[in-house]
Amino acid sequence: MIKSSKVYVAGHRGMVGSAIVRCLERNGYSNLVFATSKELDLRQPDQVNSFFERERPEYVFLAAAKVGGILANNIYPVEFLYDNLMIQNNVIHAAYQYGVKKLLFLGSSCIYPKFAEQPIHEESLLTGSLEPTNEAYAIAKIAGIKLCQAYYRQYGAHFISAMPTNMYGYGDNYHPQNSHVLPALLRRFHEAKNENKSEVVIWGSGRPLREFMFSDDLADACYYLMLNYEDPELINVGTGEEVSILQLASLIGEVIGYKGKIAFDTSKPDGTPRKLMDSSKLHALGFRHKTSLREGIEKTYQEFLTKQFEYSQTI
pLDDT single digits (tens) 56-80: 999 999 999 988 777 777 788 999 9
Catalytic residues: 137
pLDDT at residue 313 above 70?
no
**pLDDT for the residue 271:** 75
Q: What average pLDDT does the structure give for the chain?
A: 93
Binding positions for NADP(+) = 11-17, 106-109, 141, 180
Which CATH superfamily is 7-172+212-240+276-291 part of?
A: NAD(P)-binding Rossmann-like Domain (3.40.50.720)
Query: What average pLDDT score do residues 188-193 get?
Result: 95
Q: What is the 3-state secondary structure (H, E, C) of the chain?
A: CCCCCCEEEECCCCHHHHHHHHHHHHCCCCCEECCCCCCCCCCCHHHHHHHHHHHCCCEEEECCCCCCCHHHHHHCHHHHHHHHHHHHHHHHHHHHHCCCCEEEEECCHHHCCCCCCCCECHHHCCCCCCCHHHHHHHHHHHHHHHHHHHHHHHHCCCEEEEEECEEECCCCCCCCCCCCHHHHHHHHHHHHHHCCCCEEEEECCCCCEECEEEHHHHHHHHHHHHHHCCCCCCEEECCCCCEEHHHHHHHHHHHHCCCCEEEEECCCCCCCCEECECCHHHHHHCCCCCCCHHHHHHHHHHHHHHCHHHHHCCC
Query: What average pLDDT score do residues 275-284 get?
Result: 96
Is the pLDDT higher at 81 or at 270?
81
pLDDT at residue 278 above 60?
yes
**pLDDT for the residue 309:** 60
**pLDDT for the residue 275:** 86
**pLDDT for the residue 242:** 96
pLDDT at residue 25 above 70?
yes
Domain boundaries in the chain? 7-172+212-240+276-291
**pLDDT for the residue 315:** 46
Model confidence at 108, in pLDDT bands (50, 70, 90)? Answer: very high
**pLDDT for the residue 76:** 84
Query: What average pLDDT score do residues 277-292 get?
Result: 97
Model confidence at 274, in pLDDT bands (50, 70, 90)? Answer: confident
The share of the chain scoring above pLDDT 70, in percent, equals 97
| Lowest mean pLDDT segment, chosen from 96-100, 168-172, 282-286 | 168-172
pLDDT single digits (tens) 225-244: 999 999 999 999 999 999 99
Binding positions = 11-17, 106-109, 141, 180, 188, 203, 210, 270
